[in-house]
Amino acid sequence: MSVDLPSKDERTAEQADAIEQAAMLIINARNEAAALLARAGMQPPDSGWWGSPCGVTLPPPPQDHRCGCRNYTGDGGPCRTRYADATGPDTGTGSGWPTARCGHLPSEHVET
């Protein structure tokens, strides 16, 4: 089943809220399914629909790179996940890459 959603610019406030609520239902169901498998002693696969990675393409530089967030964490608002940002500046401190906060909405973490 395919659903044609209005673009972000064309959504009413009610539609935008419904999309975010629906995305949270999907994210929570994925988390619950992964926890169920873990309780049964199984490791969920890393790929497929088990995670909720961010799908946002960030502005350059570099060209056409995706947000590095691998899984949504939050309560329906902007994602709070921090990740190592390999596109950030090398600070020369030897502490590795700087970190960035995702900050994208739940609907931007649901690709399926």
Q: What is the pTM of this model?
A: 0.74
Number of helices (H) and strands (E), helices first, in the chain? 1, 4
Q: Is residue 85 part of a domain?
A: yes
Q: Is residue 43 part of a domain?
A: yes
pLDDT of the residue at 48:
56
Q: Is residue 45 part of a domain?
A: yes
Q: Is residue 86 part of a domain?
A: yes
Question: Given a cut of 50, is residue 68 above it in pLDDT?
Answer: yes
Question: Given a cut of 60, is residue 94 above it in pLDDT?
Answer: no
Summarised one tens digit per residue, pLDDT across range 7-55 is 888 999 999 999 999 999 999 998 898 888 889 998 776 655 567 889 8
What are the backbone dihedrals phi and psi of residue 83, each rounded to the nearest 5 degrees, phi first? -140, 160
Q: Is residue 3 part of a domain?
A: no
Q: Is residue 4 part of a domain?
A: no
Q: Is residue 52 part of a domain?
A: yes
Q: Is residue 93 part of a domain?
A: yes
Summarised one tens digit per residue, pLDDT across range 80-91 is 999 888 776 655
Question: Given a cut of 80, is residue 111 above it in pLDDT?
Answer: no
Q: Taking the alpha carbons of 45, 77, 9, 26 in that order, is the dihedral positive or negative?
A: positive
Domain count, the chain: 1
pLDDT of the residue at 86:
74
User: Domain of 43?
Assistant: 12-109
Three-class secondary structure of residue 86 per DSSP: coil
